[in-house]
């Protein structure tokens, strides 16, 4: 089965260096490479190109340029591989915080580009999977807390046991074809509006 073409965007103001990256990538095959040497309107251009991975090559970036590229990395929601000639510890930490999947110092060698990109893509996918799992876990925890609050309201206002309160929530959810968490949220909201989270 043929491998899907990898759509790669290279951002580099230096056309010669960009051509080294482009050549290194094309030699590996199965890629479509777009080179941008103008950073104006970058987000719009990235949206138009819709790349699978973004390669940013910076010769000697100053702090403002790096920060701009880190902001870009946070915004694009794509694997980003960044090549720089020199760096310091603060920039490395900032790159990691920004979600840059590969930060390569003094590493612009043609034969290294594709392995670095493959690593960046793998890291990005792993990070995104962890982020999604964390969001799901947070959502489940929030729902559980809401259900516990709703049970507490029913126990206080209706004189029910915890099991009876949960059974009532479950029955209401089934009758309305809704999730228990949705019923619980509605109850907690209503109780808050009515001041019903107190015995009454």
pLDDT of residue 143: 93
Range of the domain at 10: 6-108
SS3 16: helix
Task: Give kind and range of the element (H or E) at residue 128.
Answer: helix 110-158
**pLDDT of 94:** 77
Residues of the chain with pLDDT under 50: 1-2, 197-200
Q: Could you give the CA distance from residue 165 to residue 172 in angstroms, rounded to a whole number?
A: 11
pTM of this structure: 0.56
Which position has the token pair 């109780």?
Answer: 191
CATH number at residue 47: 3.40.50.2300
Same domain, 171 and 95: no
For residue 100, the model assigns a pLDDT of: 77
Q: Assess whether 70 and 21 both reside in one domain.
A: yes
């Amino acid at each position: 089965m043929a491998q899907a073409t990898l759509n790669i965007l290279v951002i580099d103001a230096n056309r010669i260096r960009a051509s080294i990256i482009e050549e290194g990538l094309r030699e590996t095959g199965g890629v479509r490479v777009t080179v941008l040497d103008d950073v104006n309107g970058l987000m719009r251009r990235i949206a138009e190109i819709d790349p699978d991975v973004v390669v940013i090559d910076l010769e000697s970036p100053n702090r403002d340029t790096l920060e701009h590229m880190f902001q870009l990395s946070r915004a694009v929601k794509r694997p980003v591989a960044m090549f720089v000639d020199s760096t310091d510890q603060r920039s490395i930490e900032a790159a990691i915080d920004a979600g840059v999947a590969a930060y390569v110092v003094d590493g612009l060698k043609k034969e290294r580009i594709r392995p670095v990109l493959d690593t960046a893509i793998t890291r990005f996918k792993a990070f995104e999977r962890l982020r999604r799992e964390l969001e799901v876990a947070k959502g489940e925890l929030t729902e559980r807390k809401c259900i516990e609050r709703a049970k507490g309201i029913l126990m206080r206002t209706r004189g029910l046991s915890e099991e009876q309160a949960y059974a009532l929530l479950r029955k209401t959810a089934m009758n309305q074809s809704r999730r228990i968490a949705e019923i619980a949220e509605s109850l907690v909201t209503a109780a808050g509006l009515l001041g019903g989270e107190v015995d009454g």
